[in-house]
């Protein structure tokens, strides 16, 4: 029995993977078109002011901007395929290296934020759905709406003000103090994981302290969406026939709500949360900017200000691929929760 279940799961995932390919192509094409229809000359836009026309031509040739658009398009696809996004125009850093190095910090932040969002959002949404139209429901919903209505960077400002400066409990900027940063050898670029790998337990308190505020701010914003999702779906599953049947067998209210209603509600919740990956990343860009977190979003803003096309294109592509990977992951999770999906 078990082997046939895993077999069908694998088959399902292979099919799903094949379906992703056209989506990746379309997204990459959109990125390419966006970056290339831009009026003006990319090199000139970034560093043009300081260069002679001859130097400019050399740089353009290096970056491949003098080739026909179609050639550039296939070069771009080739870059994506080989994972080599070229060299940033402004600071001559290999873009791929920027993505892996700073992507680790972003991953650390988003994972922690997701944890906060789930820990806050699921219980509140569940309570709201179960106690529908009572004051508990209304206050959880209002909390969700207001917290989502607050720009991440504004919440960040308030948190920095309160916990950083007024109370002095937590650092308000960067991923680690300088000493810790020097102490840790980067393997995965998720500093917490790297510290654990090398057994540097002493660095953990410092790392966690730096993580608390950004993760809480981003996580709370997203919890607003999670509350709404859980509430709506729990209200719907609580009307399920199997819920009444479970009650008729004397199953306790907690079992009914958590084991049956919440678990069944999770399928749509996970799907939509997956679609919200876009939201998570958009929030990450802003959170990193607010807390000076050395993530990939932080770099993106830096290169945007420098008008560095090569770097911007590489980073945007990386975000795009991340969205695709997340949507695949979500499908795996759903297939794992719901036997009907993999059937």
Partner 1 sequence: MRGLRRALAPLFAARGLPRVLLWVGISLTAVFVILAVFAPLIAPYGFDQYAADGVRFPQQAAPSIHHLLGTTVQSDDVLSRIIWGARTSIEVVLLALLLSIVVGVPLGLVSGYFGGWLDRILVLINDSLIAFPYLLLAIVIAFLLQGSIGGGVATAAFAITVIYIPQYFRVVRNSVLSVREEPYVEAGRVLGAPPRTVIRRYVFANVVQSVPVLASLNAADAILTLAALSFLGIGIDPSAAAEWGYDISRGIDDAQAGYWWTGLFPGLAIILLVTGLTLVGESLNDSINPLLRQRRFTAMAMPKAGLEPALAPETAGTSVIKVRDLRVWYGSERGPVQAVDGVSLDVRQGEMLGVVGESGCGKSTLARGLLGLLPAGAVRDGLVEFDGRNLVELPSEEMRWLRGPSLGMVFQEPMTRLDPLMRVSAHFAEALRTHEPELSDTEVRRRSLDALAGMGIPPTRFGNYPYEFSGGMRQRILIALTLVLGPKFVVADEPTTALDVLVEAQILEILADVKRNFDTSILFITHNLGIVAEACDRVAVMYAGRVVEQGPVSAVFADPQHPYTRELLASTISLRTTGLRYIEGSPPDLLSPPSGCRFHPRCPDVMAVCSERFPPSVELGGGHPVECWLHV
- Is the Cβ of residue 108 or residue 288 nearer to partner 1 in the bound state? 288
Nearest-approach distance from CB 258 to partner 1, in angstroms:
12
- Is the Cβ of residue 132 or residue 185 nearer to partner 1 in the bound state? 132
Nearest-approach distance from CB 34 to partner 1, in angstroms:
5
Nearest-approach distance from CB 99 to partner 1, in angstroms:
14
Q: Which residues contact 194 (CB under 8 A, 6 or more apart)?
A: 184, 185, 186, 187, 188
Taking CB atoms within 8 Å and a gap of at least 24, the contacts of 83-89 are 85/310, 85/313, 85/314, 85/317, 85/318, 86/310, 86/314, 87/310, 88/303, 88/308, 88/310, 88/311, 89/42, 89/43, 89/46, 89/47, 89/59, 89/63, 89/306, 89/308, 89/309, 89/310, 89/311
- Is the Cβ of residue 106 or residue 180 nearer to partner 1 in the bound state? 106
Asked if residues 270 and 330 have their Cβ atoms less than 8 Å apart, the reply is yes
- Is the Cβ of residue 184 or residue 223 nearer to partner 1 in the bound state? 223
Q: How many CB atoms lie within 10 A of CB 236?
A: 14
The whole-angstrom distance between residue 268's C-alpha and the CA centroid of its chain comes to 19
Nearest-approach distance from CB 213 to partner 1, in angstroms:
13
- Is the Cβ of residue 126 or residue 203 nearer to partner 1 in the bound state? 126
For residue 258, the 8-state DSSP code is I
Dist CA 222 CA 117 (whole Å): 6
Nearest-approach distance from CB 178 to partner 1, in angstroms:
19
Nearest-approach distance from CB 183 to partner 1, in angstroms:
28
- Is the Cβ of residue 194 or residue 308 nearer to partner 1 in the bound state? 308
Strand locations in 194-233 (E):
none
């Amino acid at each position: 029995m078990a082997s046939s279940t895993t077999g069908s799961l694998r088959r399902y995932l292979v099919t799903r993977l094949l379906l992703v390919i056209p989506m990746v192509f379309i997204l990459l094409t959109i990125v390419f078109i966006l970056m290339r229809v831009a009026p003006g000359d990319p090199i000139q836009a970034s560093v043009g002011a300081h260069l002679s026309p001859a130097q400019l031509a050399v740089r353009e040739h290096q970056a491949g901007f003098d080739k026909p658009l179609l050639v550039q398009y296939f070069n771009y696809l080739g870059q994506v395929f080989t994972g080599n996004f070229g060299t940033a125009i402004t600071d001559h850093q290999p873009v791929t290296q920027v993505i892996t190095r700073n992507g680790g910090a972003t991953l650390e932040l988003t994972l922690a934020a997701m944890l906060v969002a789930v820990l806050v959002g699921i219980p509140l949404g569940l309570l709201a759905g179960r106690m529908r139209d009572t004051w508990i429901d209304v206050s959880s919903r209002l909390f969700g709406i207001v917290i989502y209505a607050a720009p991440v960077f504004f919440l960040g400002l308030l948190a920095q003000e309160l916990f950083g400066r007024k109370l002095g409990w937590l650092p308000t900027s960067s991923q680690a103090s300088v000493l810790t940063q020097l102490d840790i050898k980067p393997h995965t670029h998720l500093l917490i994981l790297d510290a654990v790998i090398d057994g540097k337990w002493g660095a953990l308190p410092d790392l966690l302290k730096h993580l608390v505020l950004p993760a809480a701010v981003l996580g709370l914003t997203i919890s607003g969406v999670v509350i709404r999702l859980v509430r709506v779906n729990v209200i719907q599953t609580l009307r399920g026939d199997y819920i009444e049947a479970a009650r008729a067998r004397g199953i306790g209210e907690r079992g009914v709500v958590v084991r049956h209603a919440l678990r069944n509600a999770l399928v749509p919740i996970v799907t939509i949360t997956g679609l919200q990956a876009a939201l998570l990343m958009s929030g990450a860009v802003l959170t990193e900017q607010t807390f000076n977190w050395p993530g990939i979003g932080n770099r993106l803003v830096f290169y945007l200000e420098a008008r560095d096309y090569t770097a911007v294109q590489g980073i945007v592509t990386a975000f795009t691929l991340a969205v695709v990977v997340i949507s695949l992951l979500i499908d795996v999770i759903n297939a794992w929760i719901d036997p009907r999906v993999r059937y």
